[in-house]
Structure 1
Amino acid sequence: MNTPAISFEVFPPRSVDAAFKLWDTAQALAPLTPRFFSVTYGAGGTTRDLSHDAAHVLRRTSGLPVAAHLTCVGASKKETLETAERFAKIGITDIVALRGDPADGDTSFQPHPQGFANSVDLIEALAETDKFTMRVGAYPDSHPDAVSQHANIQYLKRKFDAGADEAITQFFFEADTFLRFRDACAAAGITKKIIPGILPVANWASARKFADRCGAVVPAWIEEAYRAAERDGRHDLLATALCTELCSDLLDEGVEDLHFYTLNRPELTKTVCHAMGITPRSELSNVA
Protein backbone atom coordinates (compact mmCIF):
# COMPACT_ATOMS: atom_id res chain seq x y z
CA MET A 1 0.00 0.00 0.00
CA ASN A 2 1.45 3.33 -1.07
CA THR A 3 1.57 6.19 1.41
CA PRO A 4 -0.93 8.84 0.28
CA ALA A 5 -0.66 12.60 0.26
CA ILE A 6 -3.08 13.90 2.89
CA SER A 7 -4.92 17.08 3.77
CA PHE A 8 -7.19 18.08 6.64
CA GLU A 9 -10.30 20.22 7.04
CA VAL A 10 -10.92 22.30 10.17
CA PHE A 11 -13.59 24.83 11.05
CA PRO A 12 -13.15 28.29 12.60
CA PRO A 13 -13.67 28.73 16.34
CA ARG A 14 -16.63 30.64 17.80
CA SER A 15 -15.22 30.84 21.34
CA VAL A 16 -11.95 30.87 23.23
CA ASP A 17 -12.33 27.20 24.12
CA ALA A 18 -13.01 26.36 20.49
CA ALA A 19 -9.95 28.36 19.45
CA PHE A 20 -7.75 26.20 21.68
CA LYS A 21 -9.39 23.12 20.19
CA LEU A 22 -8.50 24.31 16.68
CA TRP A 23 -4.88 24.95 17.63
CA ASP A 24 -4.71 21.59 19.42
CA THR A 25 -5.96 19.98 16.20
CA ALA A 26 -3.27 21.75 14.20
CA GLN A 27 -0.65 20.76 16.79
CA ALA A 28 -1.69 17.11 16.55
CA LEU A 29 -1.94 16.85 12.76
CA ALA A 30 0.66 19.26 11.35
CA PRO A 31 3.58 16.89 12.04
CA LEU A 32 1.97 14.51 9.51
CA THR A 33 2.99 17.09 6.84
CA PRO A 34 -0.35 17.59 5.09
CA ARG A 35 -0.52 19.16 1.65
CA PHE A 36 -2.82 21.77 3.20
CA PHE A 37 -5.34 22.56 5.92
CA SER A 38 -8.68 23.82 4.62
CA VAL A 39 -10.71 26.23 6.79
CA THR A 40 -14.47 26.10 6.31
CA TYR A 41 -17.32 28.60 6.37
CA GLY A 42 -20.31 27.99 8.57
CA ALA A 43 -23.71 27.38 7.02
CA GLY A 44 -24.89 30.38 5.06
CA GLY A 45 -21.48 32.03 5.27
CA THR A 46 -22.06 32.78 8.95
CA THR A 47 -18.39 32.47 9.89
CA ARG A 48 -16.92 34.50 7.01
CA ASP A 49 -14.84 36.79 9.23
CA LEU A 50 -13.98 33.99 11.65
CA SER A 51 -12.84 31.85 8.73
CA HIS A 52 -10.59 34.61 7.46
CA ASP A 53 -9.11 35.19 10.92
CA ALA A 54 -8.58 31.48 11.61
CA ALA A 55 -6.92 30.94 8.23
CA HIS A 56 -4.72 33.98 8.79
CA VAL A 57 -3.60 32.92 12.27
CA LEU A 58 -3.05 29.30 11.23
CA ARG A 59 -0.94 30.42 8.29
CA ARG A 60 1.00 33.07 10.21
CA THR A 61 1.78 31.13 13.36
CA SER A 62 2.58 27.78 11.80
CA GLY A 63 3.70 28.42 8.24
CA LEU A 64 1.40 25.58 7.18
CA PRO A 65 -0.25 25.64 3.76
CA VAL A 66 -3.84 26.84 4.21
CA ALA A 67 -6.76 26.63 1.78
CA ALA A 68 -9.57 29.03 2.64
CA HIS A 69 -13.18 28.27 1.80
CA LEU A 70 -15.09 30.88 -0.18
CA THR A 71 -18.79 30.69 -0.99
CA CYS A 72 -21.46 32.58 -2.92
CA VAL A 73 -23.78 32.96 0.07
CA GLY A 74 -24.74 36.26 1.67
CA ALA A 75 -22.36 38.60 -0.15
CA SER A 76 -22.15 40.61 -3.35
CA LYS A 77 -19.63 39.79 -6.05
CA LYS A 78 -17.59 42.79 -4.95
CA GLU A 79 -17.56 41.67 -1.31
CA THR A 80 -16.66 38.09 -2.22
CA LEU A 81 -13.76 39.13 -4.43
CA GLU A 82 -12.56 41.55 -1.74
CA THR A 83 -12.49 38.62 0.68
CA ALA A 84 -10.44 36.63 -1.83
CA GLU A 85 -8.05 39.56 -2.19
CA ARG A 86 -7.67 39.72 1.60
CA PHE A 87 -6.64 36.06 1.55
CA ALA A 88 -4.11 36.71 -1.22
CA LYS A 89 -2.58 39.61 0.71
CA ILE A 90 -1.84 37.39 3.71
CA GLY A 91 -0.26 34.72 1.54
CA ILE A 92 -3.23 32.37 1.23
CA THR A 93 -3.61 31.62 -2.45
CA ASP A 94 -5.39 28.27 -2.18
CA ILE A 95 -9.19 28.62 -2.30
CA VAL A 96 -11.93 26.02 -1.92
CA ALA A 97 -14.62 27.63 -4.08
CA LEU A 98 -18.17 26.51 -3.25
CA ARG A 99 -21.72 27.60 -3.84
CA GLY A 100 -22.37 27.24 -0.13
CA ASP A 101 -25.25 26.05 2.01
CA PRO A 102 -28.51 28.02 2.21
CA ALA A 103 -28.48 31.03 4.51
CA ASP A 104 -30.21 30.70 7.88
CA GLY A 105 -33.97 30.46 7.41
CA ASP A 106 -33.79 29.39 3.76
CA THR A 107 -34.62 25.88 2.63
CA SER A 108 -32.74 26.25 -0.66
CA PHE A 109 -29.86 28.32 -1.99
CA GLN A 110 -30.87 31.87 -2.89
CA PRO A 111 -28.22 34.01 -4.65
CA HIS A 112 -27.43 37.42 -3.21
CA PRO A 113 -29.05 40.07 -5.47
CA GLN A 114 -25.60 41.33 -6.43
CA GLY A 115 -23.80 38.06 -5.81
CA PHE A 116 -22.55 35.10 -7.76
CA ALA A 117 -25.36 32.88 -8.97
CA ASN A 118 -23.42 29.64 -8.54
CA SER A 119 -19.99 28.12 -8.01
CA VAL A 120 -19.12 28.18 -11.72
CA ASP A 121 -19.52 31.96 -11.82
CA LEU A 122 -17.37 32.28 -8.69
CA ILE A 123 -14.65 30.04 -10.13
CA GLU A 124 -14.58 32.00 -13.40
CA ALA A 125 -14.17 35.29 -11.53
CA LEU A 126 -11.38 33.92 -9.34
CA ALA A 127 -9.65 32.40 -12.37
CA GLU A 128 -9.58 35.83 -14.02
CA THR A 129 -7.45 37.16 -11.16
CA ASP A 130 -4.80 34.52 -11.89
CA LYS A 131 -3.88 34.46 -8.19
CA PHE A 132 -5.35 31.25 -6.83
CA THR A 133 -5.15 27.48 -6.87
CA MET A 134 -8.79 26.45 -6.76
CA ARG A 135 -10.39 23.34 -5.36
CA VAL A 136 -14.10 22.58 -5.67
CA GLY A 137 -16.63 20.19 -4.19
CA ALA A 138 -17.65 16.90 -5.80
CA TYR A 139 -20.46 14.52 -4.85
CA PRO A 140 -20.03 10.75 -5.32
CA ASP A 141 -23.62 10.13 -4.16
CA SER A 142 -24.78 13.11 -6.28
CA HIS A 143 -25.54 16.58 -5.01
CA PRO A 144 -28.96 16.84 -3.32
CA ASP A 145 -29.99 19.54 -5.83
CA ALA A 146 -28.86 17.62 -8.94
CA VAL A 147 -31.59 16.03 -11.07
CA SER A 148 -29.40 13.01 -11.83
CA GLN A 149 -25.90 11.66 -11.37
CA HIS A 150 -25.21 12.53 -15.02
CA ALA A 151 -26.16 16.15 -14.35
CA ASN A 152 -24.08 16.09 -11.18
CA ILE A 153 -20.97 14.99 -13.09
CA GLN A 154 -21.56 17.42 -15.96
CA TYR A 155 -21.72 20.26 -13.46
CA LEU A 156 -18.42 19.16 -11.94
CA LYS A 157 -16.96 19.22 -15.46
CA ARG A 158 -18.21 22.80 -15.84
CA LYS A 159 -16.35 23.75 -12.66
CA PHE A 160 -13.13 22.30 -14.02
CA ASP A 161 -13.68 24.01 -17.37
CA ALA A 162 -14.18 27.30 -15.50
CA GLY A 163 -10.72 27.05 -13.96
CA ALA A 164 -10.76 24.66 -10.99
CA ASP A 165 -7.56 22.71 -10.39
CA GLU A 166 -8.76 19.86 -8.16
CA ALA A 167 -11.94 18.57 -6.56
CA ILE A 168 -12.56 17.23 -3.06
CA THR A 169 -15.52 14.93 -2.60
CA GLN A 170 -18.20 14.87 0.03
CA PHE A 171 -17.66 11.96 2.42
CA PHE A 172 -19.00 8.51 1.65
CA PHE A 173 -19.06 5.16 3.42
CA GLU A 174 -17.97 2.57 0.85
CA ALA A 175 -14.97 2.63 -1.49
CA ASP A 176 -17.08 1.49 -4.44
CA THR A 177 -19.11 4.70 -4.16
CA PHE A 178 -16.03 6.77 -4.93
CA LEU A 179 -14.60 4.36 -7.49
CA ARG A 180 -17.81 4.30 -9.55
CA PHE A 181 -17.89 8.09 -9.42
CA ARG A 182 -14.24 8.35 -10.45
CA ASP A 183 -14.86 6.07 -13.42
CA ALA A 184 -17.94 8.03 -14.49
CA CYS A 185 -16.02 11.30 -14.26
CA ALA A 186 -13.24 9.89 -16.43
CA ALA A 187 -15.81 8.70 -18.96
CA ALA A 188 -17.23 12.25 -19.04
CA GLY A 189 -13.81 13.64 -19.98
CA ILE A 190 -12.71 14.89 -16.55
CA THR A 191 -8.95 14.50 -16.29
CA LYS A 192 -8.07 16.61 -13.24
CA LYS A 193 -7.55 15.21 -9.76
CA ILE A 194 -10.57 14.20 -7.66
CA ILE A 195 -9.63 13.67 -4.01
CA PRO A 196 -11.86 11.47 -1.84
CA GLY A 197 -13.14 13.16 1.30
CA ILE A 198 -12.93 10.94 4.38
CA LEU A 199 -14.93 11.36 7.59
CA PRO A 200 -13.56 9.53 10.64
CA VAL A 201 -16.79 9.08 12.60
CA ALA A 202 -16.26 10.48 16.07
CA ASN A 203 -20.02 10.59 16.78
CA TRP A 204 -22.42 8.40 14.82
CA ALA A 205 -25.58 10.42 15.54
CA SER A 206 -23.94 13.60 14.24
CA ALA A 207 -22.45 11.84 11.21
CA ARG A 208 -25.86 10.35 10.37
CA LYS A 209 -27.51 13.79 10.41
CA PHE A 210 -24.67 15.24 8.35
CA ALA A 211 -25.09 12.46 5.78
CA ASP A 212 -28.82 13.17 5.49
CA ARG A 213 -28.18 16.87 4.87
CA CYS A 214 -25.57 16.39 2.17
CA GLY A 215 -27.07 13.40 0.38
CA ALA A 216 -24.46 10.82 1.42
CA VAL A 217 -26.00 7.34 1.22
CA VAL A 218 -25.74 5.33 4.45
CA PRO A 219 -25.62 1.58 3.78
CA ALA A 220 -27.83 -0.46 6.09
CA TRP A 221 -24.89 -2.52 7.33
CA ILE A 222 -23.05 0.64 8.42
CA GLU A 223 -26.09 1.81 10.38
CA GLU A 224 -26.45 -1.57 12.06
CA ALA A 225 -22.75 -1.81 12.86
CA TYR A 226 -22.65 1.57 14.61
CA ARG A 227 -25.82 0.89 16.58
CA ALA A 228 -24.36 -2.40 17.82
CA ALA A 229 -20.99 -0.79 18.58
CA GLU A 230 -22.63 1.96 20.62
CA ARG A 231 -24.53 -0.61 22.65
CA ASP A 232 -21.31 -2.53 23.31
CA GLY A 233 -19.09 0.50 23.97
CA ARG A 234 -16.98 -0.17 20.86
CA HIS A 235 -17.81 2.94 18.82
CA ASP A 236 -14.26 4.29 18.47
CA LEU A 237 -12.82 0.87 17.72
CA LEU A 238 -15.37 0.34 14.94
CA ALA A 239 -14.90 3.86 13.56
CA THR A 240 -11.14 3.41 13.40
CA ALA A 241 -11.40 0.00 11.74
CA LEU A 242 -13.96 1.08 9.13
CA CYS A 243 -12.17 4.31 8.26
CA THR A 244 -8.79 2.56 7.96
CA GLU A 245 -10.30 -0.15 5.78
CA LEU A 246 -11.98 2.45 3.55
CA CYS A 247 -8.72 4.32 3.06
CA SER A 248 -6.80 1.09 2.41
CA ASP A 249 -9.33 -0.01 -0.23
CA LEU A 250 -9.04 3.35 -1.98
CA LEU A 251 -5.25 3.24 -2.00
CA ASP A 252 -5.34 -0.29 -3.41
CA GLU A 253 -7.36 1.14 -6.32
CA GLY A 254 -4.77 3.75 -7.17
CA VAL A 255 -5.98 6.70 -5.09
CA GLU A 256 -3.01 8.92 -4.22
CA ASP A 257 -4.60 11.67 -2.05
CA LEU A 258 -6.98 11.64 0.93
CA HIS A 259 -8.73 14.63 2.51
CA PHE A 260 -9.91 14.16 6.11
CA TYR A 261 -12.86 16.02 7.64
CA THR A 262 -11.52 16.34 11.18
CA LEU A 263 -14.36 18.35 12.79
CA ASN A 264 -11.54 19.75 14.99
CA ARG A 265 -11.28 16.34 16.67
CA PRO A 266 -7.92 14.97 15.53
CA GLU A 267 -7.62 11.73 17.48
CA LEU A 268 -9.33 9.31 15.06
CA THR A 269 -7.80 10.99 12.02
CA LYS A 270 -4.33 10.71 13.53
CA THR A 271 -4.89 7.05 14.41
CA VAL A 272 -6.06 6.21 10.88
CA CYS A 273 -3.09 8.02 9.36
CA HIS A 274 -0.69 6.11 11.59
CA ALA A 275 -2.34 2.85 10.50
CA MET A 276 -1.50 3.78 6.89
CA GLY A 277 2.13 4.41 7.77
CA ILE A 278 1.87 8.21 7.90
CA THR A 279 4.01 9.22 10.85
CA PRO A 280 5.14 12.57 12.28
CA ARG A 281 8.05 14.24 10.54
CA SER A 282 8.27 17.54 12.40
CA GLU A 283 6.89 19.39 15.39
CA LEU A 284 4.65 22.44 15.20
CA SER A 285 5.93 24.68 17.97
CA ASN A 286 4.52 28.13 17.24
CA VAL A 287 0.83 27.38 17.55
CA ALA A 288 -0.56 28.64 20.85
Structure 2
Amino acid sequence: METQKKLDKNFSCEFFPPKTDKGMENLLSTAETLKNEINPEFFSVTFGAGGSTRETTFNAVTKIQQSTGCDVAPHLSCIGSSKQQLKDILDDYKNQGIKRIVTLRGDMPSGTVSQSDFNYANELVGFIRDNYNDQFHIEVAAYPETHPQAENANQDMLNFKNKVLSGADSAITQYFYNIDSYFYFIDNCEKAGLDLPIVPGIMPITNYSNLARFSDMCGAEIPRWLRRKLESYADDTDSIKEFGADFVSSMCQKLLEMGAPGLHFYSMNQSEATLKIWNNLKL
Protein backbone atom coordinates (compact mmCIF):
# COMPACT_ATOMS: atom_id res chain seq x y z
CA MET A 1 0.00 0.00 0.00
CA GLU A 2 1.35 3.40 -0.95
CA THR A 3 0.85 6.34 1.37
CA GLN A 4 -1.05 9.28 -0.05
CA LYS A 5 1.20 11.78 -1.79
CA LYS A 6 0.19 14.99 -0.05
CA LEU A 7 2.81 15.73 2.61
CA ASP A 8 1.21 18.57 4.56
CA LYS A 9 -1.41 17.51 7.08
CA ASN A 10 -4.67 19.47 6.90
CA PHE A 11 -7.15 19.65 9.74
CA SER A 12 -10.76 20.84 9.67
CA CYS A 13 -13.87 20.80 11.84
CA GLU A 14 -17.55 20.40 11.01
CA PHE A 15 -20.55 22.20 12.50
CA PHE A 16 -24.30 22.09 12.00
CA PRO A 17 -26.37 25.29 11.76
CA PRO A 18 -27.95 26.13 15.14
CA LYS A 19 -31.67 26.85 15.42
CA THR A 20 -31.56 29.56 18.10
CA ASP A 21 -29.65 32.75 18.85
CA LYS A 22 -28.18 31.09 21.94
CA GLY A 23 -27.08 28.16 19.80
CA MET A 24 -25.37 30.55 17.39
CA GLU A 25 -23.64 32.30 20.28
CA ASN A 26 -22.34 28.97 21.56
CA LEU A 27 -21.24 27.92 18.07
CA LEU A 28 -19.23 31.08 17.51
CA SER A 29 -17.53 30.55 20.87
CA THR A 30 -16.72 26.97 19.89
CA ALA A 31 -15.38 28.08 16.50
CA GLU A 32 -13.16 30.69 18.13
CA THR A 33 -11.76 28.13 20.56
CA LEU A 34 -11.05 25.59 17.83
CA LYS A 35 -9.47 28.26 15.64
CA ASN A 36 -7.08 29.28 18.41
CA GLU A 37 -6.14 25.73 19.39
CA ILE A 38 -6.13 23.87 16.06
CA ASN A 39 -5.89 26.63 13.45
CA PRO A 40 -7.90 24.50 11.00
CA GLU A 41 -7.61 24.83 7.26
CA PHE A 42 -11.38 25.38 7.22
CA PHE A 43 -14.64 24.88 9.07
CA SER A 44 -17.56 23.19 7.30
CA VAL A 45 -21.29 23.72 7.94
CA THR A 46 -23.90 21.09 7.12
CA PHE A 47 -26.98 21.52 4.93
CA GLY A 48 -30.31 19.97 5.96
CA ALA A 49 -32.22 17.35 3.98
CA GLY A 50 -33.73 18.84 0.83
CA GLY A 51 -32.10 22.18 1.60
CA SER A 52 -34.22 22.57 4.74
CA THR A 53 -31.52 24.60 6.50
CA ARG A 54 -30.52 26.77 3.53
CA GLU A 55 -30.93 30.10 5.33
CA THR A 56 -29.51 28.93 8.66
CA THR A 57 -26.55 27.34 6.89
CA PHE A 58 -25.81 30.57 5.01
CA ASN A 59 -26.19 32.58 8.23
CA ALA A 60 -23.84 30.27 10.12
CA VAL A 61 -21.27 30.31 7.32
CA THR A 62 -21.29 34.10 7.19
CA LYS A 63 -21.01 34.61 10.94
CA ILE A 64 -18.28 32.00 11.43
CA GLN A 65 -16.25 33.49 8.61
CA GLN A 66 -16.64 37.02 9.96
CA SER A 67 -15.96 36.00 13.57
CA THR A 68 -12.93 33.77 13.06
CA GLY A 69 -11.45 34.90 9.76
CA CYS A 70 -11.14 31.22 8.79
CA ASP A 71 -12.25 29.75 5.49
CA VAL A 72 -15.70 28.18 5.80
CA ALA A 73 -16.98 25.42 3.52
CA PRO A 74 -20.76 25.17 3.31
CA HIS A 75 -22.29 21.82 2.48
CA LEU A 76 -24.51 21.86 -0.59
CA SER A 77 -26.83 19.03 -1.59
CA CYS A 78 -28.62 18.79 -4.92
CA ILE A 79 -31.69 16.68 -4.04
CA GLY A 80 -34.77 18.88 -3.76
CA SER A 81 -33.27 21.86 -5.61
CA SER A 82 -33.40 23.15 -9.17
CA LYS A 83 -30.39 24.31 -11.17
CA GLN A 84 -31.45 27.92 -10.67
CA GLN A 85 -31.82 27.51 -6.92
CA LEU A 86 -28.37 25.96 -6.70
CA LYS A 87 -26.89 28.69 -8.87
CA ASP A 88 -28.46 31.35 -6.65
CA ILE A 89 -26.90 29.75 -3.59
CA LEU A 90 -23.51 29.43 -5.27
CA ASP A 91 -23.65 33.05 -6.47
CA ASP A 92 -24.35 34.15 -2.89
CA TYR A 93 -21.37 32.17 -1.64
CA LYS A 94 -19.15 33.51 -4.41
CA ASN A 95 -20.12 37.08 -3.48
CA GLN A 96 -19.44 36.26 0.17
CA GLY A 97 -15.90 35.20 -0.70
CA ILE A 98 -16.46 31.50 -0.01
CA LYS A 99 -13.74 29.42 -1.67
CA ARG A 100 -14.69 25.85 -0.79
CA ILE A 101 -17.90 23.81 -1.15
CA VAL A 102 -18.70 20.35 0.23
CA THR A 103 -20.95 18.77 -2.39
CA LEU A 104 -23.43 16.02 -1.55
CA ARG A 105 -26.39 14.26 -3.09
CA GLY A 106 -28.39 14.73 0.08
CA ASP A 107 -31.78 13.35 1.03
CA MET A 108 -35.31 14.61 0.90
CA PRO A 109 -37.09 15.27 4.21
CA SER A 110 -39.33 12.37 5.18
CA GLY A 111 -42.74 12.46 3.50
CA THR A 112 -41.75 14.83 0.67
CA VAL A 113 -41.15 14.30 -3.04
CA SER A 114 -38.01 15.46 -4.85
CA GLN A 115 -38.27 18.22 -7.46
CA SER A 116 -34.62 18.02 -8.42
CA ASP A 117 -32.73 18.79 -11.62
CA PHE A 118 -29.91 16.59 -10.31
CA ASN A 119 -30.12 13.18 -8.69
CA TYR A 120 -26.47 12.42 -7.98
CA ALA A 121 -23.57 14.29 -6.41
CA ASN A 122 -21.35 13.91 -9.49
CA GLU A 123 -23.89 15.97 -11.45
CA LEU A 124 -23.65 18.77 -8.88
CA VAL A 125 -19.84 18.61 -8.97
CA GLY A 126 -19.86 18.92 -12.76
CA PHE A 127 -22.37 21.78 -12.61
CA ILE A 128 -20.18 23.75 -10.20
CA ARG A 129 -17.04 23.10 -12.21
CA ASP A 130 -18.69 24.01 -15.53
CA ASN A 131 -20.24 27.23 -14.21
CA TYR A 132 -17.60 28.47 -11.78
CA ASN A 133 -14.33 27.03 -13.12
CA ASP A 134 -11.86 27.15 -10.21
CA GLN A 135 -13.82 29.59 -8.06
CA PHE A 136 -14.50 26.83 -5.53
CA HIS A 137 -12.39 24.02 -4.12
CA ILE A 138 -14.84 21.12 -4.36
CA GLU A 139 -14.97 18.54 -1.57
CA VAL A 140 -16.93 15.31 -1.98
CA ALA A 141 -17.95 12.55 0.42
CA ALA A 142 -16.28 9.15 0.57
CA TYR A 143 -17.55 6.00 2.26
CA PRO A 144 -14.80 3.54 3.30
CA GLU A 145 -17.45 1.13 4.61
CA THR A 146 -19.72 1.68 1.56
CA HIS A 147 -22.64 4.08 1.31
CA PRO A 148 -25.67 2.53 3.03
CA GLN A 149 -27.81 2.94 -0.11
CA ALA A 150 -25.23 1.62 -2.58
CA GLU A 151 -26.03 -1.63 -4.40
CA ASN A 152 -22.60 -3.01 -3.48
CA ALA A 153 -19.03 -1.92 -2.80
CA ASN A 154 -18.03 -1.95 -6.48
CA GLN A 155 -20.95 0.28 -7.43
CA ASP A 156 -20.09 2.63 -4.57
CA MET A 157 -16.50 2.92 -5.80
CA LEU A 158 -17.79 3.69 -9.30
CA ASN A 159 -20.02 6.42 -7.85
CA PHE A 160 -17.04 7.91 -6.03
CA LYS A 161 -14.92 7.77 -9.18
CA ASN A 162 -17.63 9.62 -11.10
CA LYS A 163 -17.55 12.41 -8.52
CA VAL A 164 -13.78 12.70 -8.75
CA LEU A 165 -13.75 12.70 -12.56
CA SER A 166 -16.50 15.34 -12.60
CA GLY A 167 -14.11 17.78 -10.96
CA ALA A 168 -13.66 17.07 -7.25
CA ASP A 169 -10.48 18.39 -5.63
CA SER A 170 -10.51 16.34 -2.42
CA ALA A 171 -12.74 14.14 -0.28
CA ILE A 172 -13.84 13.74 3.32
CA THR A 173 -14.90 10.32 4.56
CA GLN A 174 -17.81 9.21 6.63
CA TYR A 175 -16.51 8.47 10.12
CA PHE A 176 -15.33 4.96 10.93
CA TYR A 177 -13.69 3.07 13.80
CA ASN A 178 -11.81 0.47 11.77
CA ILE A 179 -8.76 1.98 10.07
CA ASP A 180 -8.40 -1.05 7.80
CA SER A 181 -11.56 0.04 6.00
CA TYR A 182 -10.01 3.44 5.28
CA PHE A 183 -6.72 2.12 3.90
CA TYR A 184 -8.46 -0.58 1.90
CA PHE A 185 -10.57 2.20 0.35
CA ILE A 186 -7.40 4.19 -0.41
CA ASP A 187 -5.86 1.13 -2.08
CA ASN A 188 -8.96 0.73 -4.26
CA CYS A 189 -8.83 4.41 -5.22
CA GLU A 190 -5.20 4.06 -6.28
CA LYS A 191 -6.05 0.97 -8.35
CA ALA A 192 -8.82 3.00 -10.00
CA GLY A 193 -6.33 5.73 -10.92
CA LEU A 194 -7.73 8.29 -8.47
CA ASP A 195 -5.16 10.67 -6.99
CA LEU A 196 -6.62 13.21 -4.58
CA PRO A 197 -6.43 13.83 -0.83
CA ILE A 198 -9.01 11.72 1.04
CA VAL A 199 -9.25 12.99 4.60
CA PRO A 200 -10.63 10.68 7.31
CA GLY A 201 -13.74 11.93 9.08
CA ILE A 202 -13.32 11.62 12.86
CA MET A 203 -16.27 11.30 15.24
CA PRO A 204 -15.38 11.70 18.94
CA ILE A 205 -17.08 9.22 21.28
CA THR A 206 -18.96 10.95 24.10
CA ASN A 207 -22.38 9.27 24.28
CA TYR A 208 -22.78 5.63 23.30
CA SER A 209 -26.58 5.49 22.82
CA ASN A 210 -26.56 8.52 20.51
CA LEU A 211 -23.54 7.21 18.60
CA ALA A 212 -25.10 3.76 18.15
CA ARG A 213 -28.37 5.21 16.87
CA PHE A 214 -26.68 7.58 14.43
CA SER A 215 -24.22 4.94 13.23
CA ASP A 216 -27.04 2.53 12.46
CA MET A 217 -28.73 5.26 10.38
CA CYS A 218 -25.69 6.30 8.36
CA GLY A 219 -24.04 2.91 7.90
CA ALA A 220 -20.93 3.56 9.99
CA GLU A 221 -19.90 0.33 11.70
CA ILE A 222 -19.05 0.21 15.39
CA PRO A 223 -16.96 -2.98 15.76
CA ARG A 224 -18.52 -5.54 18.09
CA TRP A 225 -15.70 -5.36 20.64
CA LEU A 226 -16.03 -1.57 20.76
CA ARG A 227 -19.81 -1.77 21.22
CA ARG A 228 -19.40 -4.21 24.08
CA LYS A 229 -16.74 -2.05 25.72
CA LEU A 230 -18.89 1.08 25.51
CA GLU A 231 -21.97 -0.83 26.72
CA SER A 232 -20.00 -1.96 29.78
CA TYR A 233 -19.84 1.63 31.02
CA ALA A 234 -23.66 1.91 31.06
CA ASP A 235 -24.50 5.48 32.16
CA ASP A 236 -20.96 6.33 33.30
CA THR A 237 -20.51 9.18 30.83
CA ASP A 238 -17.15 10.27 32.25
CA SER A 239 -15.67 6.82 31.62
CA ILE A 240 -17.17 6.72 28.11
CA LYS A 241 -15.60 10.08 27.31
CA GLU A 242 -12.22 9.08 28.75
CA PHE A 243 -12.10 5.75 26.95
CA GLY A 244 -13.51 7.29 23.77
CA ALA A 245 -10.88 10.02 23.70
CA ASP A 246 -8.05 7.52 24.21
CA PHE A 247 -9.35 5.13 21.56
CA VAL A 248 -10.06 7.77 18.91
CA SER A 249 -6.75 9.53 19.62
CA SER A 250 -4.87 6.26 19.07
CA MET A 251 -6.77 5.68 15.84
CA CYS A 252 -5.96 9.21 14.61
CA GLN A 253 -2.29 8.75 15.44
CA LYS A 254 -2.14 5.56 13.38
CA LEU A 255 -4.00 7.19 10.49
CA LEU A 256 -1.55 10.09 10.34
CA GLU A 257 1.52 7.86 10.72
CA MET A 258 0.30 5.63 7.88
CA GLY A 259 -0.17 8.51 5.47
CA ALA A 260 -3.61 10.04 5.92
CA PRO A 261 -3.43 13.64 4.65
CA GLY A 262 -5.18 15.13 7.68
CA LEU A 263 -8.25 14.79 9.90
CA HIS A 264 -11.76 16.22 9.67
CA PHE A 265 -13.42 16.39 13.10
CA TYR A 266 -17.19 16.05 13.43
CA SER A 267 -17.35 18.42 16.40
CA MET A 268 -21.13 18.38 17.01
CA ASN A 269 -20.78 22.12 17.76
CA GLN A 270 -18.68 21.39 20.86
CA SER A 271 -14.95 21.90 21.37
CA GLU A 272 -14.15 19.72 24.40
CA ALA A 273 -14.05 16.25 22.81
CA THR A 274 -12.23 17.42 19.68
CA LEU A 275 -9.62 19.29 21.71
CA LYS A 276 -9.07 16.29 23.98
CA ILE A 277 -8.12 14.25 20.91
CA TRP A 278 -6.07 17.08 19.46
CA ASN A 279 -4.08 17.52 22.69
CA ASN A 280 -3.50 13.77 22.94
CA LEU A 281 -1.96 13.84 19.46
CA LYS A 282 0.48 16.57 20.53
CA LEU A 283 0.35 18.19 17.12
Give the TM-score category using the shorter length: over 0.9
Distance 2:265 2:50 in 1: 22
Hey, what does 1:121 align to over in structure 2?
123
CA RMSD of aligned residues (A): 1.6
- Kept after mapping to 1: 8 A contact 2:71/2:99: no
Distance 2:218 2:176 in 1: 10
When normalised by structure 1's length, the TM-score is 0.91
Aligned-pair identity (%): 33
Q: Which runs of 5+ in 1 are unaligned?
A: 279-288
Shift of 1:192: 0.9
Residue 38 of structure 1 aligns to which amino acid in structure 2? S
Farther off after superposition, 96-105 or 31-40: 96-105
CA offsets, 1:140-188, max 9 Å, x none? 1101111111111111111010000001000001111111111111111
Q: Which runs of 5+ in 2 are unaligned?
A: 1-6
Hey, what does 2:220 align to over in structure 1?
216
1:176 correspondence with 2:196: no
- Kept after mapping to 1: 8 A contact 2:103/2:125: yes
Give the match's secondary structure for 1:230: coil
Shift of 1:111: 4.1
CA offsets, 1:102-151, max 9 Å, x none? 32325xxx6424x2221111111100111211000010110111111111
Distance 1:20 1:147 in 2: 42
Farther off after superposition, 165-174 or 213-222: 213-222
Distance 1:21 1:104 in 2: 29
Give the match's secondary structure for 2:234: helix
- Kept after mapping to 2: 8 A contact 1:138/1:169: yes
When normalised by structure 2's length, the TM-score is 0.92
Shift of 1:230: 3.2
1:258 correspondence with 2:263: yes
Whose RCO is larger (CA < 8 A, sep 6+)? 1
1:10 correspondence with 2:15: yes
Distance 2:90 2:213 in 1: 31
- Kept after mapping to 2: 8 A contact 1:10/1:262: yes
Hey, what does 1:228 align to over in structure 2?
232
Give the match's secondary structure for 1:196: strand
- Kept after mapping to 2: 8 A contact 1:72/1:111: no
Residue 161 of structure 1 aligns to which amino acid in structure 2? L
How many residues were matched structurally?
273
Hey, what does 1:84 align to over in structure 2?
90
Hey, what does 1:241 align to over in structure 2?
246
Distance 1:65 1:22 in 2: 16
Give the match's secondary structure for 2:233: helix
Distance 1:116 1:57 in 2: 29
1:188 correspondence with 2:192: yes
- Kept after mapping to 2: 8 A contact 1:7/1:260: yes
